[in-house]
Structure 1
Amino acid sequence: MSELDSELLKHSKVMKKLQNEVREIVGNKAEVTEDDLVGMHYLRAVIKETLRLHPPVPLLLPRMATQDVNVNGYSIKANTQVLVSAWQIGRDPKSYNKPEEYEPEKFLLNI
């Protein structure tokens, strides 16, 4: 079972809203096409929210500082390998209201 499946099972209102969007756009067609996907804004929000809470890789690729730098009060010397936590970025309360809650609607504000 994927992370998306488990989130949709835990959040029945989200699943119902997503099902309604897909049924409204696809209708009785046997296959979903790329043209159908263009109008599925809620599906896009559900996918983004799932990836925010469940990144496929918790740490991004290692980076190397090319010069001395200060990041958020931390001094990082040149030639230091830096690992960035995608998991933590997705749960940053400065970036997201209620960062631990599954709410795809937070990604609909940009439409």
Structure 2
Amino acid sequence: MTEDTSNTDVQNCGECEASLSGSEAAAKGQAEFKRILRKRTATEVSEKMGIEVGNLDLDTHLLALGLESLELFSLTSNLAEWMDRDLPVTLLFDIESINDLVEEISKLVFAENCPA
């Protein structure tokens, strides 16, 4: 059974929840956001590279996996469209792995939705 990772789920789990106290809501929402984004990103990379998701090392440098710069741009663009959010082009220069990409996008999303 395939887990649904629609952009509505991403948008909902990325919002601050008034029903929980501040840091608790942010921590729960951010953890769920990262889980969904990591799964979506790993799935897309595995499809591009012909690697099964379970065999994909989320800490391996994306270039070492065989992704080229155009594919990295495509990946970031697809994630931005899926989340219905703009992502900076410079993000491509700041990341090395899937886990790095998830962390950077999460920081951007939560800085927008949950200002201090």
Class of the TM-score when normalised by the shorter of the 2 chains? under 0.3
The structure carrying a bigger strand percent of its residues is: 1
TM-score by length of 2: 0.26
The structure carrying a bigger helix percent of its residues is: 2
Structure number with bigger Rg: 1
